[in-house]
Each structure stands twice: as C-alpha cells, then as structure tokens.
Amino acid sequence: MNREPVASSNIAAIGYDEPSQTLEVEFTGGAIYQYYNVPLPIFEQLMQSSSKGQFLAHQIKNSYAYSRTG
C-alpha cells in the first residue's frame, strides 16, 4: 500500500486502500499499523485534520480492529 507523508509529530505517513477499507499508519518510530473496515469519510477526515495524531487517538484507535504489521 502506498503511504503519503504527513505533517505530524508522531505519524510519518498514512495510506488507505478503499476496496478493503484498510487504513495504514506509519509512525515516526517506524511502527506500522493497519486499521480495518475504516470508511472512506473517516480516512478523509483524518487527512484533513490539523492534528492527525489526536484524530487517530480519539476517532480510530478504539473504534476499529487493528494489527501491527511492521
């Protein structure tokens, strides 16, 4: 999955696969997580958020299943 670099203190890049609704987040420390069944509007809100780390923490982390992939 291609990830796009983002301006964030703790997130290096974010990718999204629309057919599978998989959100992929690469953190600045190198860890990569995939969040599953994330609707496109949530991904779009994340990308438009002024604080991507805060949006991820409050809107995604406790709402969607995830796994560490890297």
pLDDT tier for residue 70 given thresholds of 50, 70 and 90: confident
**How does pLDDT run across 18-51, given as a tens digit for each residue?**
999 999 999 999 999 999 999 999 999 999 999 9
Domain residue spans in the chain? 4-68
Query: Which structure tokens are listed for 26?
Result: 């690469």
What 3 state SS string does the chain have? Answer: CCCEECCCCCEEEEEEECCCCEEEEEECCCCEEEECCCCHHHHHHHHHCCCHHHHHHHHHCCCCCEEECC
Q: For residue 42, what pLDDT is reported? A: 98
pLDDT tier for residue 6 given thresholds of 50, 70 and 90: very high
